[in-house]
Amino acid sequence: MTTHNSRRDAIKKVATMALASTALSSLANRVSAHENAVGEKLKGKINHSVCAWCYNGIPLEELCKASSEMGIQSIDLLAPNDFATAKKYDLTCAMVASNNKDWGITRGWNRLEHHDPLVEYYEQMIDETANAGFTNLICFSGNRDGLSDEQGIENCATGLKRVISYAEKKKVVLVMELLNSKVDHHDYQCDHTAWGVELCKAIGSDSFKLLYDIYHMQIMEGDVIRTIRENQQYIAHYHTGGVPGRNEIDETQELFYPAIMQAVYDTGFKGFVAQEFVPKRPDKLASLKQAVGICDI
């Protein structure tokens, strides 16, 4: 017959064993979670990049180091003097910046009087891009300022054809960004995919393509997935951003990025998708890591 004390000792022994088992299980879970947080590899279907300008408060060296640890392969929109920092962390620059103070988003290729200085500048930047072993160099249409869309395409094609053979020779792609003219870049001419596609057709070279900015094109035209599927041959690069606000790409905004990334992947796209949202949260790098996870289908 078991005594009262014996039963109590047995219960205490079982309880102690149960607590120990729970503690070990909890520790194992924490270790596993930690390993996933710092060591989980990305799936490899999407090539990930990040736009440096969105993290101006973080030194480039720190951004490169953190990006490399996350599995990001590229830093977007770097000037030549920053190439070495990216390469130090085995990162490429999937989209080279155009930082000339006189030529940019508002003053671009759609004006004939801009062509001579733009040709000189872009030949230099094509050399810088090629010498670094990079491929894509950004360019812009410029603002309309009363110019018709038809004339804008004609003028852009006239100017860009002057440098496109040089770009082909150097294996560099000039990539015109699609931007919204409704919220951020009023009067910008290359503000619809159809306009950009017509310009691609007018130039007729694989060394000229489009940067499809998902944030901008959601604002201007929506219908993102169908547009991607139908126009992939003209798209060299993608940028992300939450709509509205251009902030985190999670449940706080209207786009569902996993489906968009699946559509991009399904087209056979081999280029890069760059995060170009401006983090609202204090831990900006945590927001970046979250975004990469969302897009890593």
Inter-CA distances, 267 with 137, 178, 262, 270, 293, Å: 22, 19, 9, 9, 20
Whether residues 36 and 51 share a domain: the answer is: no
> Omega before 258 cis (within 30°)?
no
Q: Do 28 and 96 share a domain, yes or no?
A: no
The answer to whether residues 83 and 204 belong to one domain is yes
| Same domain assignment for residues 52 and 183 | yes
Give the span between the Cα atoms of 184 and 118, in whole angstroms.
24
Q: Are residues 6 and 103 located together in one domain of the fold?
A: no
Cα–Cα dist 84/252, whole Å:
36
Do 130 and 219 belong together in one domain? yes
Q: Tell me: do 146 and 250 sit in the same domain.
A: yes
- Are residues 135 and 149 both part of a single domain? yes
Positive or negative torsion for Cα 181, 223, 153, 205: positive
Name the residue with tokens 């395409």.
Answer: 153
What angle (nearest 5°) sits at the alpha carbon of residue 99, between those of residues 94 and 102?
Answer: 150
Phi and psi, residue 284, nearest 5°: -65, -35
Q: What is the pLDDT of residue 26?
A: 39
The alpha carbon dihedral of 289, 291, 292, 293 has a sign of: positive
Compute the Cα dihedral for 59, 104, 174, 255 and give only its sign. positive
Provide the pLDDT for residue 117. 96
Cα four-point dihedral sign 172, 76, 48, 253? negative
| Number of C-beta neighbours around residue 296 at 10 A | 19
Burial class of residue 189 in the structure, from the number of CB atoms within 10 Å of its CB (0-12 exposed, 13-18 middle, 19+ buried): buried
pLDDT in tens, 151-210: 999 999 999 999 999 999 999 999 999 999 999 999 999 999 999 999 999 999 999 999
CATH code, domain with 219:
3.20.20.150
Q: Which of 175, 179, 177 is nearest to 246 (CA)?
A: 179
For residues 106 and 188, is the Cβ–Cβ distance under 8 A? Answer: yes
Output the pLDDT for position 19. 41
User: Do 14 and 51 reside in the same domain of the chain?
Assistant: no
CA count, 13 A, side-chain hemisphere, 160 = 30
What pLDDT does residue 210 have? 98
Query: Does 152 share its domain with 236?
Result: yes
Question: Does residue 10 share a domain with residue 117?
Answer: no
Low-confidence ranges of the chain (pLDDT < 50): 1-5, 7, 10-12, 14-39
Domain count, the chain: 2
DSSP alpha helices (H): ranges in the chain? 4-39, 60-70, 83-88, 115-131, 149-170, 193-203, 214-220, 224-231, 257-266, 284-295
Q: Which residue matches tokens 């160099």?
A: 137
- Same domain? For 27 and 47 the reply is no
Give the count of beta carbons closer than 10 Å to the beta carbon of residue 167: 23
Q: What is the 3-state secondary structure (H, E, C) of 169-215?
A: HHCCEEEEECCCCCCCCCCECCCCHHHHHHHHHHHCCCCEEEEEEHH
pLDDT at position 39, please?
47
Q: State the pLDDT at residue 9.
A: 53
Domain membership of residue 150 as a residue range: 43-295
pLDDT at residue number 184? 96
